[in-house]
Amino acid sequence: MNLLPKATSDFTQIDYWNSFFKKRGKKAFEWYGEYPELCGILHKYIRPRDKILVIGCGNSSLSSDLYDVGYKQIMNIDVSGVVIKQMRAKGKARPGLEYQQMDATATTFTDGQYNVVLDKGTLDAMMPDSSPETLERIDKLFAEVDRVLAPLGRYVCVSLLQEHILLRLATHCSGHGWMLRICRCQEAEHRSDSSGGFVFPVFVIVCTKLKSVAGSKPVLEVCQSPELVQRMATVEETMAAVKTMQDTALVCSGLNRCNIANSGEVTVELSQPGDVYPRYTITVADSPNAKDSTRMKFAAFIVPQGREREWLFGTPEGRQVLVDSSGFDRLAVIRLHREHKY
C-alpha cells in the first residue's frame, strides 16, 4: 500500500490527501508524536478556555484527546473532504469539536476569532521547498494565521524545523514583532527511538502575536529543556542553535544503530550556554569485535584532568587500546577541559 508520496511536493496536493485518507481508512496517522508525548508542552501554552483552530487536522486523534481533557472549543479544518467526513462521524459524541473542509490559507472565519492556531505537521507539508510558488503559499498561510488570531494569540506549530522552514518562520515573526519560542519535544523523539525509527528532533514552536513596535528587538528564544530557555540575538543565531540540536540528534541516533569501528571515532563537545570553551569533549570508540551492533555493552571513561593530551587518551590509536583493554564493545572517553573547574 503506497501511502507516502514519491515527491515532497505531493504533500501540497488535495488529490494526494484524499487518496491518502481513503487508503488509510479509520486508522489515525500521527505526524511527529501523539498526544501523550506532546501534552506537556501543549498544556503549557494552550489554556482549556481558549478557542482553538486546528489547521490541516487530518485524521489525527490530537483534537479529540485535547477535548477529552477539558478543551471544549476546537474547530478543525483540512483541505481533504474525505478526511473531514471521516472525522465528523468520529466526533459526533463530542459537542464543540467541529470539522470543516477548508483551506488554511483562505478561511472564512472572522478577524481575531481564535486564541490559538494549532498546526501539527501542516507547515512542513505545505513547505517542501523554497520556490517562489511555495513561499507565496506560506506567506498566505501566515497572513491568515495573523488575521484569525486575537491579540496575544499563539500560533503553536509542531515541526521538524528544516532550515528553509525555520528561516521563513523566524523571519516572519521578527519582522512582525511576534515573540518566537522554540521548544524541543524530547518525549516525541524517545517514542520514535523506542519504535526503532530514525530519530529527528521534534520541535513545538510557539509564536505569540504581539503589537509591532518600531525599533524593538525581536524576541527569539530556544528551549532545549523546560528548565533551559536561551534568548537569541538574531535569526541566524536561532538557526545555529536549532541546527546544533539536529546534528547532535542525528549522530546519537546513528550510534544507536551501528558499530563505527571501521569508520573511525565520533567526537561531540558539550558546552553550557555562554561558555567560550566546551566543558566536556566526548569521543566514542568501538571495538571491531562486537558481535551485535544494536546491543553493544558500553561504558564511560573519564580522563583524569591534565592527562587529556597523553597518547592513551589523546590519540585514536591510544583510545582503541583503551577500548580493547576495557572489555566493553563501546567506550565513551570523556576529556575535561582546563578552563573549567569540576
Reading phi first (left if > 0) and then psi (alpha if -120 to 50, else beta), residue 214 is in beta
Distance of CA 72 to the CA centre of its chain: 26
pLDDT of residue 6: 40
Residue 5 predicted with pLDDT over 90? no
| 2 — pLDDT class (breaks 50, 70, 90) | very low
| CA count, 13 A, side-chain hemisphere, 222 | 19
User: What percent of the chain is helix, strand and coil (3-state, nearest 5)?
Assistant: 40, 25, 40
pLDDT of residue 4: 36
User: What does the radius of gyration of the chain's CA atoms come to, in whole angstroms?
Assistant: 23
| 261 — pLDDT class (breaks 50, 70, 90) | confident
What integer best gives the mean pLDDT of the chain? Answer: 87
The residue ranking higher by pLDDT, 72 or 196, is 72
For the domain covering 8-254, report its CATH number.
Answer: 3.40.50.150
* Cα–Cα distance for residue pair 28/192, rounded to 1 Å: 16
The residue ranking higher by pLDDT, 45 or 264, is 45
| Across 258-277, average pLDDT | 82
Which residue in 335, 330, 261 sits closest to 296, CA to CA?
Answer: 330
Q: In what order do the strands lie in the sheet with 298-302?
A: 266-270, 280-286, 330-336, 298-302
Q: Tell me if 156 sits within 8 A of 182, measured CB to CB.
A: no
DSSP state of 9: G
What is the length of the chain? 342
Q: Locate the domains of the chain by residue range.
A: 8-254, 261-336
> CA torsion 220→107→24→85, rounded to 10°?
140
Is the alpha carbon torsion for 225, 48, 30, 170 positive or negative? negative
* Cα–Cα distance for residue pair 76/157, rounded to 1 Å: 15
